[in-house]
Homo-oligomer: A and B are copies of this chain.
Amino acid sequence: MRMSRGVEWVLHCCALLAELPPGESLSAAQLARFFDVPHAYLAKKLQALSTVGVLRTSSGPSGGYQLGRDANEIALLSIIDAVEGVGRCFICTELRQQGPSAVSTHRYTTPCGIARSMWRAEDAWRSVLSKTTLKDIVRIGNVEVPAEQRRRAQIWLRSEKG
């Protein structure tokens, strides 16, 4: 169970977009250059985010991506669900209904106990991610990211806009 690499990319992209002045946007190509990742594949992932409204797109020159709503309204879970799909990690194929001991289907009212246990763990995971927002990420960054890096990022953004 490894998470897609694209998840890391879009999380960083969203964090960067969250620090952008209101109204400004960055194109997929610019984001790809900033993080040094293949831009076409990154665009495919960002596209998924715009579909669900986490990001908002604008076409044409000086277009690009910006946050679809306030940073404190965007939970990490929304981003991950958009990129990875909303399905559960653990899939129950009703194994208990196969083999020599199975009885008729309608006898199984509650979901499989194993599946419920696994899903309870997933719920805990999703709960944490739903409570963590982009705003939290930015707040952490404001404290921990080296000032030098923040300054360089600002310079880079200026040069892109120039």
Residues of A within 8 A of B (CB): 1-5, 7-9, 11-12, 15, 33-37, 76, 84, 87, 89-93, 95-96, 98-103, 107-108, 110, 113-118, 120-122, 124-129, 132, 136-137, 140-141, 144-146, 148-150, 152-153, 156
Chain B residues contacting A136 (CB-CB under 8 Å) are 117
Bound complex: CA of A133 vs CA of B41, how far in Å? Answer: 41
Q: Tell whether, in the assembled complex, residue B90 and residue A7 are in contact, meaning their CB atoms are under 8 Å apart.
A: yes
Beyond A8-B90, A114-B137, A136-B117, is A100–B146 a contact (Cβ under 8 Å)? no
Option from B5, B95, B117, B137 in Cβ contact (under 8 Å) with A132: B117
Chain B residues contacting A91 (CB-CB under 8 Å) are 2-3, 5, 8
Option from B9, B116, B152 in Cβ contact (under 8 Å) with A101: B152
Q: Tell whether, in the assembled complex, residue A100 and residue B1 are in contact, meaning their CB atoms are under 8 Å apart.
A: no
Selected A-B contacts with CB under 8 Å, 12 pairs = A1-B3, A2-B89, A12-B95, A76-B121, A96-B149, A100-B156, A103-B152, A107-B146, A107-B148, A117-B137, A118-B129, A121-B128
Bound complex: CA of A98 vs CA of B141, how far in Å? Answer: 16
Beyond A3-B89, A35-B95, is A8–B114 a contact (Cβ under 8 Å)? yes
